Structure formats: C-alpha cells, structure tokens
Amino acid sequence: MSRIELTDISKRYGDRDVITGLDLTIESGSFTVLVGPSGCGKSTTLRMIAGLEAQSGGSITIGGEPMADVPAGRRGVAMVFQNYALYPTMTVGENIEFGLRNIGVPKQDRRDRVAEIAETVGLTDHLRKRPSALSGGERQRVALARAMVKNPAVFLMDEPLSNLDARLRQKMRVELIELHERIGATFVYVTHDQVEAMSMGTDIVLMRDGAIMQQDAPEQLYRAPRNVFAGRFIGTPPLNVVPVSAVTGASAYAPTGAAWVGFRPERIGLLDGESSAPADAIELPASFIALENLGAEQIYRAELRDGSRVALKRFDEPVRELGSTVRVAIPIGELQWFDEREQRIAHAEVSG
C-alpha cells in the first residue's frame, strides 16, 4: 500500500512560515493533484514527501511507515521534474537504465526492464538516441520511463508538462491518465493550471498561502466550492461571485448570513424578444462589454445594473453585438451562497 499521510506539517525558511499545521491524506492508487497559485506551498509539500526537503514540524508516513529518518533514495518514490533532468551524454536507454545500475540490478534484468518500460511509454525506437535528438514530449517520456523502471509505489511530479506547448501538454495529459490506469501506482502531481488539475486528478488539493482551501473530487470542487477562492480558481471562466444585492430578487432565496452569491457562466441563459425567464429563474438586465469568440463557444463579459461584472458562456450561437443590453436568466437552483468571510453557507444547495 502507498497511502501518504502528512500530519501537522510546518515548513519555515528563516523567520518566514511557508506552511503551518498542514494535514493531508493521499489515498493509495489515487491521482492526487496539488494545485494553486505560485507560492502557495504545493511544490514545497511535494519535496517534503520526496525527502528532498525536511519539514520543520509534523510527521509524514508512506505506506504506514514513518519517514522521519528515511532519506529520499529509500522512500520508494520516484520524482519527475519540470526540466526532465536527463544526462545529455547518455542515450535514452542509458538514461532509463542509470538508476537500476546504481542499485546493482543485474545487466540482463536491466535490459529487460528498460525494454518493457520503453514499450509502455512509446520509446522503443528511440533507445539509441541522445536526448538532444528528441522532442520535448519524448524527453518527458524518458523522464517518466526513468522513474517507472524502478517500480515505485509513488510517483511525484512537479509541473512536468509546463515546458511543453499547449497541444503537446494536452496529449501528454491523456498519456499520463492512461499510464496511471495501467500501473495503478499513487500519483501526486503539482500544477498551477486548473485545467490540468480538473482533467487529470481523481482527487484535487487546492492550496493557498500554505493551507488547503479544499480537497475534493473534481466534480465536487466544481459544483460545490467551499469558499469564494475555490469558486474563482476552478472553472473556465471561473465562478461569478457578486454581492447578493447585485442580483435583483436573489435576497428572497438567500440563506441567513449570505453576503455573496455565485453562479457559473455556462449556467446563465439569454432571453430573446419578449420571452420571459422560467419560473425557477431570476431575470436580470445586463450589458455586453467584451467578447472572446472561441468558435464553438463564446465568452461574454457583461455588466449588471449595479456595475458588477460577470462572465457568460454560450455554445455555438450567433455572436451578440457588444454594447447591447440583454436579459439574462439565472436558475435559482444554480445560485451558490457565501458569507461575509467568503465561506460557503453549508445548507445552501446546488441543483442536480
């Protein structure tokens, strides 16, 4: 088993506390993604799990075994970095084999394992090449293969796709998902990209300022953010969050203590002509002020009557004229409520 538990973890650099009182459980076999803005502590957390940095306080266990006195090389984890960290003078095969040679694996066993892993990640035809002859995606596969060949129970990945172009990142995301399904190891993946987090993770840990803002499955994080930060971080565009007073009529449905109301851009309807909003929706006037036309979808920025700005996401529709006044309909069941501290109000429901 490769369950990872962090209990009351703190990390201090000089007189600066980066992480304080962090509790985190990563289930065996999960694809757990640590996501958040730069400086939130996600990479530091990963490096403490790997043993590359020592925590200032608290405890870490992997597979039930305390890691306090266990060096990085003996933790049974493999780490894949953003910059590949390949040896330029070695061939692909030699790069993959290097770690096995260091721990004394017999030559024929090394060759067999390298051949097996190369087949798994699609590098069989590149084993005799040097890294300089490979594309960015192929180099990242070499880094993955070098980690995989050790048969680790835990893979730790620190923004491994950030150096790739958008098209290749998308391709590699799919490959990593398939790889996780095939080998069933525990993956812990760090990224600042919420699209990567939502598309890859079975469990997402959203961090800010060294603290966990929410840990949940992707669909739960999207549908029921526990605070305004989570709502505004997840989603493209993110959750619209405005004062309750900005949505005329919303106060009639607001739970006690609600100061903010949120709603997803893709859940907002547009009303044409003389049509009225459904009985279970709130109708609002708005003015379109900007447009991102992505072909199959359009993302409008609109201004409400009180000056609050929101995003609307429409799919495969005729483009609306900017500056025009429109009427929008927000389903009451899609409204999400937050208190003055920007925390979700527990009994506020999300529609199915």
CA angle (319, 322, 324) in 5-degree steps: 105
Q: Are 147 and 78 in contact (CB under 8 A)?
A: yes
Q: How does residue 347 score in pLDDT terms, banded at 50, 70 and 90? A: low
- Letter string b/e over residues 127-163, b meaning 16 or more CB atoms within 10 A of that residue's CB: beebbeebeebbbbbbbbbbbbbeebbbbbbbbbbee
- The predicted pLDDT at position 85 comes to 82
Global pTM value: 0.89
Per DSSP, the residues of 198-217 read: HHH-SEEEEEETTEEEEEE-
- The predicted pLDDT at position 111 comes to 92
φ and ψ at 77, to 5 degrees?
A: -120, 155
| One-letter amino acid of 157 | M
Write the pLDDT tens digit of every residue in 37-73.
999 999 999 999 999 999 999 999 999 999 998 999 8
- Mean per-residue pLDDT for 148-173? 86
Percent of the chain at pLDDT > 70 equals 98
- What one-character DSSP code corresponds to residue 343? B
Domains and CATH numbers, the chain: 4-223 (3.40.50.300), 239-349 (2.40.50.140)
**Partners of 190 in beta bridges:** 34, 158
Q: How does residue 238 score in pLDDT terms, banded at 50, 70 and 90? A: very high
